[in-house]
A and B are shown apart, each in its own frame.
Chain A
Amino acid sequence: MTSLSNTDISDYLKSQEQKSFLRFITCGSVDDGKSTLIGRLLYDSKLIFEDQLAALEKDSKKIGTQGQEIDFALLVDGLAAEREQGITIDVAYRFFTTDKRKFIVADTPGHEQYTRNMATGASTADLAIIMIDARKGILTQTKRHSFIVSLLGIKHVVLAINKMDLMSFDQEVFRKIDEDYRGFAKDLGFEEVVSMPLSALKGDNILSVSENTPWYKGPSLMDHLENVQIDRNEDGNPFRLPVQWVNRPNLDFRGFSGTIASGTITEGDEIVVLPGAKTAYVNSIISADGNVSNAEFGEAVTICLDRELDISRGDVISKADNRPEITDQIQAHIIWMHEDEMLPGRPYLIKTNNKTLDGVITDLRHKVNVNSLEHESAKTLALNEVGLVNIKLGQKIVFESYAQNKSLGSFICIDKFTNATIACGMVNFGLRRASNVHWQAVDVGKESRAKQKHQEPKVLWFTGLSGSGKSTIANLVEKKLHAMGKHTYLLDGDNIRHGLNKDLGFTDADRVENIRRIGEVAHLMVDAGLIVLTAFISPFRAERNMVREMVGAGEFIEIFVDTPLEVCEQRDVKGLYKKARAGELKNFTGIDSPYEEPEAAEIHVNTVENTADEAADIVVKKLGY
């Protein structure tokens, strides 16, 4: 390259512009040599600059694990905590180019606790290098990562059997691991598994085929990476454009922008906009290159139509003769990515490719044991666990299965309060049930029932710590309302915990389900025209808000019985605090389980400044009776 002249540069740049692109990940257990392999690829492809090499040599001597030799892992482990502990915590992206291809490699962490970061790297990769230490063979983490690689739809796997130098490049060792892996992976849906005997540290079979493995007839790693052919379904599938943003700079222009999720579009094509199902013809297409007559999968475009349609972010444009499905209930695999466990029934935010909406996991069908790939029954998912779930969405979405279309079949779950990304999901299919179960249209409605009772139906939701006086006040309020001729019903621990919810305990998952059921019952009673009073600790904001959203606007009155913990504990009417403090009662709110105070309760009372009867009067007065 030292003789490159300026004219050569023009040719060179031309050829570079046409280069193909491969994104891959390295994964596997801790210490299998993932970072070393990437360091080796960069080093051998002459992609490490002199100043970086000087820093690397200095660091290798100071904190390296290879004695006086260069520790390639230090090139990739970029965070201070990683370098100090000698482990990979988060995914690192590295870039290199050969004459044939440009590569982006994501080096993913091996530790189980950082599996979510591994999934982050895998979601954008076309190929996975699964590293195995030849001395150890297949480990739990090999299986876990292979499973996640398969879940995320990667079809090409390189089984990199590393550290062969420590096994004297023994063919039998290689053969045995290869055979074991193929047995394990046969149901994972990979199109291709290529096994290679490597030494990342010494460079065997990395850039060229090694003399140490004359029995190995396959390609070197680099040779394979440069030549592997990745065919993506999305190229040949029907046209889909999720509308990301509506471009309306002035009255004369109205375009719909987004990244084409599959297929191709041509000027003049007839399209349909879902879920609205209105049709139109494509007037013009603006791509990154300006006005074009057609565009394909992967391009970020803006499309203008021949007529005015009401289209917004979240809609999907497809060709009129081939439409995706629409549903508000899906079945999907999810990977749980947060320390707080997944709770069926709790409302989460679901973000798809172009839309954010409410969603509730209605059913955990099973959890997948990553070691055996067997299905196990479970009530919740903990960090890094994988499960098959049904999700009920707050609105209809346009979707396809993940296997068919990664963009239209993927989503993330977001916690409504912390905004943390808590899970990722891959859609299997839509559940038809949703569209078939319609509410019976009945002639006698909520309004007429309420009218007959001369009242506005409401839920009076009392929340507060155990012993705060919720039940006492609720009882008094009910008496007062009853005396005023109102039709009421009080739901409390006595009539719910002993009957409807007697199968539930006090774990977080059970507490959520407890409140969900109470909410549903209250919802029905409001529909019947009643004023419903509930007295439950209901410690989580998310569930109280869920019930608020179930009933009509203005029908949910949150009443915070704000008696301080010290006072409740001192009273300890039922002796529960004493037991909880002694450790005899687990998951007790206020002691070893949190209480999330209401942020904007409609009514606020306490039993320190007021007696229970005074508090009940305050409630009745605030209600306007």
Chain B
Amino acid sequence: MSLSHLKRLEAESIHILREVVATAQTPVMLYSIGKDSAVMLHLALKAFAPGKLPFPLMHVDTTWKFKDMISFRDRMVKEHDLDLIVHINKEGVQQGIGPFSHGSATHTDIMKTIALKQALDKYGFDAAFGGARRDEEKSRAKERIFSFRSDGHQWDPKNQRPELWNIYNCRINKGESIRVFPLSNWTELDIWQYIHQENISIVPLYYAAERPVVRRDGQLIMVDDDRMPINKGEEILHRKVRFRTLGCYPLTGAVESDADTLEAIIREMLLSHTSEREGRVIDKDVDASMEQKKKEGYF
């Protein structure tokens, strides 16, 4: 008897989660509220059952997340008795940084990348779990499960530590840290299959519903609050839409869809002709932009 592929992925992720807890001083889980974070949290609850999670969750809040995401986050914290740290880049807020006024690149850099570095330094975390998968993007496909970051949080893609079997080198010197990706070997389809198999709660935005949207630069952007400027010639449409990926609402394109059940979402995914990152504005700025961002400390 050998294990099915989901069982193997599940066991591998649990092994990784436990290894970090057994070896790191101050681990943290970066919780982005999306479906991958939901799966990662579910696996962590299994790994340390019947105990509580032996580390806190941290959400780097850009202050531009969908309202539904924040309420879902707070529900999860309550349901599972989690320790949650919310970090916001206060200087960024004071300077009024936002995607509409400063553009996606500046906003992401200041409110997400710099905010993350601030938070890691502030709390002195030496290992941080992230829900990234290798099938998401081509530089991710090259990244180790235990991804070493220098003092200053930088990733050196040309000089990664060899990573053999399931023996992970967790050792670091002062000031250095490790980003750990327990879902490295999962694909988008695996994630959905697992959500289905395990009946995992996800943010309602993944399900189709009628929502107010504006068509802008070829994307459907949801009007989530009154900070969204409506430009001349734009009108607020009420369309049945859903999101394949979640982030800051002004930077996340919706897709028109009738998929309001998990089965329908998976069906839609199987028939899709575009990858999930297409709805993200940040990837298309420059070639190899993700690699560049990661070198600078982005997750």
- Cross-chain contact of A51 among B164, B263, B274 (Cβ < 8 A): B274
B36 proximal to A (CB < 8 A): no
In the complex, what distance in Å separates the CA atom of A123 from the CA atom of B5? 18
- Cross-chain contact of A120 among B135, B164, B187 (Cβ < 8 A): B164
Whether A20 and B14, one on each chain, are in contact in the complex, defined by CB atoms closer than 8 angstroms, is no
- Cross-chain contact of A20 among B5, B11, B173, B263 (Cβ < 8 A): B5
Whether B169 and A20, one on each chain, are in contact in the complex, defined by CB atoms closer than 8 angstroms, is no
Q: Which residue of A lies closest to B194 (CB)?
A: A17
A436 proximal to B (CB < 8 A): no
Q: Which residue of A lies closest to B8 (CB)?
A: A21
B185 proximal to A (CB < 8 A): yes
Q: Which residue of A lies closest to B42 (CB)?
A: A288
Whether B11 and A50, one on each chain, are in contact in the complex, defined by CB atoms closer than 8 angstroms, is no
B169 / chain A contacts, CB cutoff of 8 Å = 351, 412, 414, 419, 421
- Cross-chain contact of A21 among B4, B158, B171, B266 (Cβ < 8 A): B4
Which one of A21, A50, A92, A288 has the highest number of Cβ atoms from chain B below 10 Å of its Cβ? A288
B166 / chain A contacts, CB cutoff of 8 Å = 124, 259, 353, 407
A247 / chain B contacts, CB cutoff of 8 Å = 48, 51
Nearest-neighbour CB distance to chain B for A499, whole angstroms, equals 39
B4 / chain A contacts, CB cutoff of 8 Å = 17-21
9-residue interface stretch from A94-102, A273-281, A357-365, A514-522 = A94-102
Nearest-neighbour CB distance to chain A for B191, whole angstroms, equals 12
Whether A337 and B141, one on each chain, are in contact in the complex, defined by CB atoms closer than 8 angstroms, is no
- Cross-chain contact of A17 among B50, B164, B171, B197 (Cβ < 8 A): B197
In the complex, what distance in Å separates the CA atom of A349 from the CA atom of B42? 34
9-residue interface stretch from A2-10, A592-600, A615-623 = A2-10
B6 proximal to A (CB < 8 A): yes
B158 / chain A contacts, CB cutoff of 8 Å = 79, 81, 89-90
Whether B164 and A123, one on each chain, are in contact in the complex, defined by CB atoms closer than 8 angstroms, is yes
Number of interface residues of A (CB under 8 A): 82
B173 / chain A contacts, CB cutoff of 8 Å = 418-419
B138 proximal to A (CB < 8 A): yes
B141 / chain A contacts, CB cutoff of 8 Å = 76, 78, 92-94
B213 proximal to A (CB < 8 A): no
Contact A298-B163, Cβ < 8 Å, known A6-B264, A9-B266, A51-B278? no
A313 / chain B contacts, CB cutoff of 8 Å = 22
Nearest-neighbour CB distance to chain A for B64, whole angstroms, equals 24
In the complex, what distance in Å separates the CA atom of A424 from the CA atom of B166? 12
B2 / chain A contacts, CB cutoff of 8 Å = 20, 232, 235, 297-298
B167 / chain A contacts, CB cutoff of 8 Å = 351-353, 410-412
Nearest-neighbour CB distance to chain B for A188, whole angstroms, equals 19
9-residue interface stretch from A249-257, A373-381, A559-567, A603-611 = A249-257
A625 proximal to B (CB < 8 A): no
B12 / chain A contacts, CB cutoff of 8 Å = 300
B291 proximal to A (CB < 8 A): yes
A406 proximal to B (CB < 8 A): yes
Q: Mark B1-25, 1 if CB is under 8 A from A, else 0.
A: 1111111101110110011011100
In the complex, what distance in Å separates the CA atom of A30 from the CA atom of B23? 38
Whether A97 and B189, one on each chain, are in contact in the complex, defined by CB atoms closer than 8 angstroms, is yes
Q: Mark A267-290, 1 if CB is under 8 A from B, else 0.
A: 000000000000000000010100
Whether A93 and B134, one on each chain, are in contact in the complex, defined by CB atoms closer than 8 angstroms, is yes
A437 proximal to B (CB < 8 A): no
In the complex, what distance in Å separates the CA atom of A117 from the CA atom of B15? 22
Whether B15 and A104, one on each chain, are in contact in the complex, defined by CB atoms closer than 8 angstroms, is no
Nearest-neighbour CB distance to chain A for B258, whole angstroms, equals 11
B46 proximal to A (CB < 8 A): yes
For window 16-42 of A, CB contacts with B under 8 Å fall at 16-21
A162 proximal to B (CB < 8 A): no
Whether A80 and B288, one on each chain, are in contact in the complex, defined by CB atoms closer than 8 angstroms, is yes
- Cross-chain contact of A50 among B263, B267, B273 (Cβ < 8 A): B273
A117 / chain B contacts, CB cutoff of 8 Å = 160, 162
Nearest-neighbour CB distance to chain A for B23, whole angstroms, equals 8
- Cross-chain contact of B165 among A20, A124, A420 (Cβ < 8 A): A124
Contact A4-B51, Cβ < 8 Å, known A79-B142, A414-B171? no
Whether A298 and B3, one on each chain, are in contact in the complex, defined by CB atoms closer than 8 angstroms, is yes
A102 / chain B contacts, CB cutoff of 8 Å = 5, 190
B108 proximal to A (CB < 8 A): no
In the complex, what distance in Å separates the CA atom of A12 from the CA atom of B269? 13
Whether A288 and B275, one on each chain, are in contact in the complex, defined by CB atoms closer than 8 angstroms, is no
Nearest-neighbour CB distance to chain A for B190, whole angstroms, equals 8
- Cross-chain contact of A286 among B8, B49, B157, B272 (Cβ < 8 A): B49
A250 / chain B contacts, CB cutoff of 8 Å = 51
Nearest-neighbour CB distance to chain B for A157, whole angstroms, equals 19
- Cross-chain contact of B161 among A4, A76, A420 (Cβ < 8 A): A420
Contact A249-B273, Cβ < 8 Å, known A116-B162, A410-B165? no
Q: Which residue of A lies closest to B139 (CB)?
A: A78
For window 315-330 of A, CB contacts with B under 8 Å fall at none
B196 proximal to A (CB < 8 A): yes
Nearest-neighbour CB distance to chain B for A41, whole angstroms, equals 14
In the complex, what distance in Å separates the CA atom of A354 from the CA atom of B43? 20
B57 proximal to A (CB < 8 A): no
A442 proximal to B (CB < 8 A): no
B261 proximal to A (CB < 8 A): yes
Whether A300 and B11, one on each chain, are in contact in the complex, defined by CB atoms closer than 8 angstroms, is yes
B47 / chain A contacts, CB cutoff of 8 Å = 257, 300
B162 / chain A contacts, CB cutoff of 8 Å = 116-117, 119-120, 337, 412, 421, 424
In the complex, what distance in Å separates the CA atom of A253 from the CA atom of B166? 27
For window 252-299 of B, CB contacts with A under 8 Å fall at 261, 263-264, 266-267, 270-275, 278, 287-288, 291-292
A91 proximal to B (CB < 8 A): yes
A614 proximal to B (CB < 8 A): no
In the complex, what distance in Å separates the CA atom of A414 from the CA atom of B6? 32
Which one of B14, B164, B169, B189 has the highest number of Cβ atoms from chain A below 10 Å of its Cβ? B164
Whether A298 and B274, one on each chain, are in contact in the complex, defined by CB atoms closer than 8 angstroms, is no
B62 proximal to A (CB < 8 A): no
B184 proximal to A (CB < 8 A): yes
Contact A299-B171, Cβ < 8 Å, known A1-B271, A410-B164? no
Q: Which residue of B lies closest to A243 (CB)?
A: B22
- Cross-chain contact of B171 among A10, A16, A18, A349 (Cβ < 8 A): A349
Q: Which residue of A lies closest to B10 (CB)?
A: A288
B154 proximal to A (CB < 8 A): no
Q: Mark A343-371, 1 if CB is under 8 A from B, else 0.
A: 00000010111001000000000000000
B245 proximal to A (CB < 8 A): no
In the complex, what distance in Å separates the CA atom of A586 from the CA atom of B199? 68
B291 / chain A contacts, CB cutoff of 8 Å = 78-80
Whether A419 and B165, one on each chain, are in contact in the complex, defined by CB atoms closer than 8 angstroms, is no
Contact A79-B271, Cβ < 8 Å, known A93-B141, A298-B11? no
A52 proximal to B (CB < 8 A): yes
Whether A249 and B52, one on each chain, are in contact in the complex, defined by CB atoms closer than 8 angstroms, is yes
A60 proximal to B (CB < 8 A): no
Ranked 6 nearest A-B pairs via Cβ = A249-B51, A78-B138, A300-B14, A21-B5, A123-B164, A419-B171
- Hey, which bits of chain B sit against chain A, CB under 8 A? 1-8, 10-12, 14-15, 18-19, 21-23, 46-52, 134-135, 137-142, 157-158, 160-167, 169, 171-173, 184-185, 187, 189-190, 193, 196-197, 261, 263-264, 266-267, 270-275, 278, 287-288, 291-292
Chain A to chain B contacts (Cβ below 8 Å), 9 pairs = A78-B137, A78-B138, A79-B291, A104-B185, A245-B19, A296-B1, A353-B165, A421-B169, A424-B162
